[in-house]
Chain A
Amino acid sequence: MRAQGSTKSTQGALVAEHIEAILDCMVEGVILIDRSGIVRRFNRAAERLFGYRVEEVLGRNVSMLMPAPWNREHDHYLARYSRTREGRIVGIDREVQGLRRDGSVFPMQLSVGAFDAGDEPYFVGVIRDLSETRRMQAALATREAQLRLMFDQAPVGAFVTDARGFILSCNVAFERMLGSAARGLTGQRHLDLVHPEDRPGLAHTLAALREGQSGRMRCTRDLRYLRLDGSVAHVQLHVGLVDAVEGARVLIGQCIDHSAEHQARKELAALHEQLAHVNRLSVMGEMASGIAHEINQPLTAIAAYAQACRRLLAGGAGTAAATTVAEDLSDALEQIAQQAQRAGEVIRRLRGFVRRGAASRATTHLGEVLSGVVKLAEVDSRSHEITIERDISPALPPVLADSVQIQQVVLNLLRNAMEASPAKSSDGGDGGSDDVACRTVILRAEVQAGGVRIAVLDRGVGPDADAAERLFTPFFTTKRSGMGLGLSICQSIVEAHGGRIGYQPREGGGSCFEFTLPVAPGGEA
């Protein structure tokens, strides 16, 4: 502090001192120049910013603080301003560059004010260093770019929608998944991309999520998107609600594309289907002689009835009364019709069994399905002289099943059981009750918790422990002829139905093969 004489000058000196102090305390650099660009003031902050001491700058042209090309232009700017009083910079914040004493350049924000003292115009520049801000911005931009890269390069499709479900942003994987890189998804309604059949379900889920009914902010569901080319993408979608900045809620979705897996599963299922069909055909082939017999029986009856009719009409019997003949004829014709039906029924059953086509599951009543398959199996059991005993609970709940495939499983098990049954004792006797019991195969169907249990029991020797372990392995067989695919196919059919198949030794000797089928939805007894 310097002491001053008069009160007025003391006052003036005090003000000047204050201003000096304020200038030196400012964080911003302050530079005062005259109309020629000569530096008249240079505060401490400016010293720090430019690396000059004040005495090195005072009285020199301010252009020394500017890198090329601005340093050359500055005098023109000043001249133009003096002439026109129109500033391109005065009163406006600008971002320019400064030149330090050491020759380095730095970004700075410059606000320029102009004023007149006496008749002379002066300009004051206030400078803020932007180096740090720029560094932070660059870091943020890098980070943003990295995140964007991660978002785009992620193998899962990801998108963000606003509260109304319009897509704000999505990544490359999502676009690629929908085959729509070219059309751009931003701004589209997310729900419009979803397969029409899956829209109501998803809308419902999202509404519940938004209302927070379930108390959860995230959920996962499987759904289908429609690609641009009309094909279907199968995905697992994870969605989450996020409170973004300023309270706006956004929805973040991530989807894993299961289409390839779905396709592979479909192809596998088709293969299984074909294999099962081949198995049915081969089973029918093995049963050919029995089938021929089944059809031959009604044909024999038809032929005999028809020939009898002809003889009756020719009056062969001679002595019979006309009414008796008429009755016999009528009975015979009725029988012919019935036997033709019977043969047709056999063929229908076979055709139904070997028909080719996609497995179609429907709510199925096992009682009818099992009776049908017993009739098929009896084609074999007659020639093996084996009795099939049905122990089918009348209270079976309906199951969701492909009836042909279930018949195939049961027929495979019944035929195995018949083959395993001990040979008929050859003493030519009337067959003791033990013999009959040994040559009876039981088909049992009963209710169990959540489903139906179907078992096929025989009194054969059964597999040894080693074979029992490998029964369901493809190409494993204990038979002299046979591919070893029957049980493996049974297993894949049963498991595709959500059931399980297994083997256990039967109490008292023999085998018990059993499988389960779950109750059809809504069919719980």
Chain B
Amino acid sequence: MNRLEDALRGALRREEPPAGFAGRVLAAAQGRDQQRAVSRWWFFRQSPRLRWAAAFAAVVLLAGGGIEYRHQQRAKAERAKDQLMLALRITGSKLRLVQERIRWIEEAPMER
């Protein structure tokens, strides 16, 4: 096992998909099942208690949306930060390159 392979295992480790992924997949799968969807809608219409529950769920979803928005903003800032760090690292590496070459030439005057 060499170091590159170790590094690849680290870099390619499994990552969880974005939050809510499983829910979205299940919802999409559910959307394909027309018959069940229709029967659920019928059941929902028969029950006022379920309507209240749905209203409550909507309020919770809205509140959750606010939290989600803040998370998205934070994620955007983190991405911008990553770009900033990448830009500074590239700049640093190029400045070092120039410095090192100049230093090397200065230290080896006979070869110029």
The answer to whether A and B come from one shared complex is no
